[in-house]
Structure 1
């Protein structure tokens, strides 16, 4: 069975533990529950099926039943905290705690790279800048970034990008992008993408105030549509986004880094058929 640090879903870890024990001995959900000290024989199965959540008091009981101690116990408890979080801020706090504990214990968790990359807009900016500024100092790279960035931040970001194999540092002190994609679990990627989108939207608002109209392009449409039309529009946006990526990849002489946000979001609640017929 894989170590608990290779999991991003505590329910999956519990399920795999159960399956592993079941293969090697007579083991049932009733036995698992009894081993953890729960009166209900079906409780842990309900947890693994996603029909209920593991309670805070239950974390220690289940961890002991699975023989988790020390950092493994701490990691499992944080996985439960992450999995049971009710909103993005709680999930982000749990993920940050997971990464912090892993770093302190010199353990590399699978989602750490994805979280670090998307959590800080400096990462994708520096990943684009470094290859087109050969042998530039940290301060020179920082000076090109319009959001406030220090030389120390650039240094740390470059070290992370190289360690995560998102940039390659050559013998002549230049950098080039690798083909590696930033990957994470299905539980984490939606969270970190939302975090990145929020931060890039904040940078977009600054651009409206600070950048000339010759350097930026902002436009918007306020429209009334239904779900079928919304789905059609989002499909067109995806086609357009892929076309933009192809155009950008054709660029041979990069001299600036841009961010393009494609957004469509609701401004009102849905109007029922009864409400639409009033008047």
Structure 2
């Protein structure tokens, strides 16, 4: 059975744990709920399916029902907070505590070192900028960035990028990219880090609308009614479009400025069918 520290969603862990115990011991959802002190025989099934949530008083009971102890129990408690919290300090704190528990017990499953690349806008910006500013002092590099950055932050980020293998230092002291583009791959921890970057880049987009002339920015949008089927088709088209943009950027070795392209598609209303049928 996989350890709880291999998961970044407590509901996924609950489903995994239940499936294993059903196979080995014939466990039912009624048995599981009873162990955790719930009257409803299907409550934990609903929780695992995302149709209900664990409240503070029930988290420890569920952890005990699954036989979690010590750091695994502490990890699960933080995992519930991480899964159920919106983006913000509470969610970040829970993730950091999960990471600390994993590291303290020598469980390297969250890839913290790699995840750090996506936690700050400075890393992708400097990865693009530094190779095109050969032998420039960190202060000059910092001054070139529109969002404020210090020379010390430039040094720290460049060291990190080199350590991660995303930048390579040449013999003459200049830097080059190891690859033309960076992909998130299949790393399960990345979505949380990406959320942090999207928040930062979203704020920069607002600043650009306020402070940059039209000749230096391009912002447009469409408000439209969609079915779930149409939404899925548009998401697929956006994915293909993103690949084309990456290909165009990769074809040209030169660079004048570092740009950020945000692709955003999000709902402005609730599901009207669900509202009408309620």
TM-score normalised by the shorter chain: which range applies? 0.7 to 0.9
CA contact (8 A) 1:138 1:151 kept: yes
Instruction: Note the C-alpha offset of 1:35.
Output: 3.2
Query: What is the deviation of 1:14?
Result: 1.6
1:113-124 aligned within 5 A? 116-124=116-124
Q: Is the 8 A contact 1:36 1:64 kept in 2?
A: yes
Give yes or no for contact 1:131–1:176 (8 Å, CA) kept in 2.
Answer: yes
User: In structure 2, what is the Cα distance between the partners aligned to 1:94 and 1:79?
Assistant: 9
- Please list every run of 5 or more consecutive structure 1 residues that lacks an aligned counterpart in the other structure: 272-279
- Greater mean deviation of Cα atoms: 130-139 or 64-73: 130-139
The 1-side partners of 2:255 and 2:128 are apart by 9
Report the secondary structure of 1:218's partner residue.
coil
Counterpart CA distance in 2 for 1:115 and 1:73 is 24
Q: For residues 199-214 of structure 1, what are the structure 2 equivalents within 5 Å? A: 199-211=200-212
In 1, Cα distance between the equivalents of 2:202 and 2:259? 13
Asked whether the equivalents of residues 8 and 185 of structure 1 are also in contact (C-alpha less than 8 Å), the reply is no
State the match for 1:51 in structure 2: 51
Q: Say if 1:63 and 1:159 are closer, same or farther in 2 by CA, change over 3 A.
A: farther
What is aligned with 1:98? 95
**RMSD in angstroms over aligned alpha carbons?**
3.9
Deviation at residue 209 of structure 1 after TM alignment: 4.9
**How far apart, in 2, do the equivalents of 1:51 and 1:270 lie?**
16
- In structure 2, what is the Cα distance between the partners aligned to 1:193 and 1:62? 30
Q: Which runs of 5+ in 2 are unaligned?
A: 273-278
Q: 1:169 and 2:168 equivalent? A: yes
CA displacement at 1:239 relative to structure 2: 5.3
User: How far is the alpha carbon of 1:233 from its aligned partner?
Assistant: 7.6
The TM-score, its normalising length taken from structure 2, stands at: 0.73
Instruction: Check the 8 A contact 1:134/1:175 in 2, yes or no.
Output: no
- CA contact 2:208–2:217 (8 Å) conserved in 1: no
How many residue pairs get matched? 263
In 2: Cα distance, 1:47 partner to 1:130 partner: 48
Change (3 A) 1:208 1:155: same
Asked if 1:16 is matched to 2:46, the reply is no
Deviation at 1:48, TM superposition (A): 1.7
Give the conservation status (yes or no) of the 8 Å contact 2:7–2:13: yes
**Partner SS state of residue 80, structure 2:** helix
Report matched runs for 1:186-205 at 5 Å.
189=191, 193=194, 195-205=196-206
Structure-1 residue corresponding to 2:71:
71
Q: Does the CA-based 8 Å contact 1:111-1:183 persist in structure 2?
A: no
Superposition deviation, residue 183 in structure 1: 4.6
TM-superposed deviation, 1:253: 1.7
1:277 match = none
| Deviation, structure 1 residue 122 | 1.4
> So what's the TM-score if we normalise by structure 1?
0.72
Deviations 1:49-93 (A, max 9, x none): 3232122111111212323233322221121112223x444xx63
